[in-house]
Amino acid sequence: MLVYYPMTAVNWLLGILSCVLFLWFGASGTQVAASIWLMLYSDAAALQIGLYLWNRRHNVSPHEPEGSGGLAGMAMSALSAPIYLKSLGSAVLRTDGRFVVTPKGGQASPDRLLTFRIHLFWAAVLLSSLAASVYLDHTHVAMRTWATLGLAISLSPVVVWAWTVRQDKRAEAARAVPVPAPPPPEPAYVTTTTTPAPQATTTASAGTTATTTAGGN
């Protein structure tokens, strides 16, 4: 584990240096057949993947769930390669490389464009090299592919940061828009039916019956 970060930094430096030397000066390494290169590269990739899967049994990362593939960590390691190189350079040159604990939260420590100055530096190097290769007619597909991949790695943190800032601004704008108050409820009307009182017809009928009976007697 202690060797991983320096080796990642060295791989990043050698990869960028190889791309720059070819794209600017047309310098290339040993020419081999594509089939031999593919065979060696496939063997190296299979060995690396197998070693990675073997070491995943000893996963001790507290931020990754048990049994995860670790793809998020691999992506973060790839995006952090320029940072590893800067740290390695500070250690070799014995410059003032400090470890600073910054406050957490966007309000306490907001990111700016200069926060990604290391990535932007390497992006400028690769972009200028690609432009020079067009002018100098150094048009090897593989070297341009690796340079484009390095450019994508260098710009990915900036793109993610810009996207999150845009999403935060949209959320703040949505919260700032006043929500119209709901209309007051309509008054409820209760319909009542008035039933007239029945007339005293029963009493009158009883009186008539009594009179008739008395007259008969």
**Better pLDDT: 66 or 202:** 66
Report, as an integer, the average pLDDT of 158-179. Answer: 83
In a domain, 65, yes or no: no
CB 6 within 8 A of CB 88: yes
pLDDT at residue number 16: 92
Report, as an integer, the average pLDDT of 21-45. Answer: 81
In a domain, 21, yes or no: yes
In a domain, 23, yes or no: yes
**CA distances (Å), 14 to each of 7, 25, 194, in order?**
10, 16, 99
In a domain, 81, yes or no: yes
Least Cα distance to 119 among 95, 96, 93, 86 occurs for 86
Tokens, residue 81: 């390669």
| Whether pLDDT at 5 is above 50 | yes
- Split at pLDDT 50, 70, 90, the class of 96 is confident
In a domain, 18, yes or no: yes
Report, as an integer, the average pLDDT of 20-32. Answer: 80
- Split at pLDDT 50, 70, 90, the class of 142 is confident
**Better pLDDT: 204 or 193:** 193
In a domain, 13, yes or no: yes
CB 160 within 8 A of CB 75: no
In a domain, 207, yes or no: no
In a domain, 215, yes or no: no
> Please, what sign has the CA dihedral across residues 40, 129, 156, 15?
positive
Report the number of distinct structural domains present in the chain. Answer: 1
| Whether pLDDT at 188 is above 80 | no
pLDDT at residue number 189: 60
Domain interval for residue 14: 1-28+73-94+114-173
Least Cα distance to 77 among 146, 8, 6, 31 occurs for 8
Tokens, residue 179: 């929500």
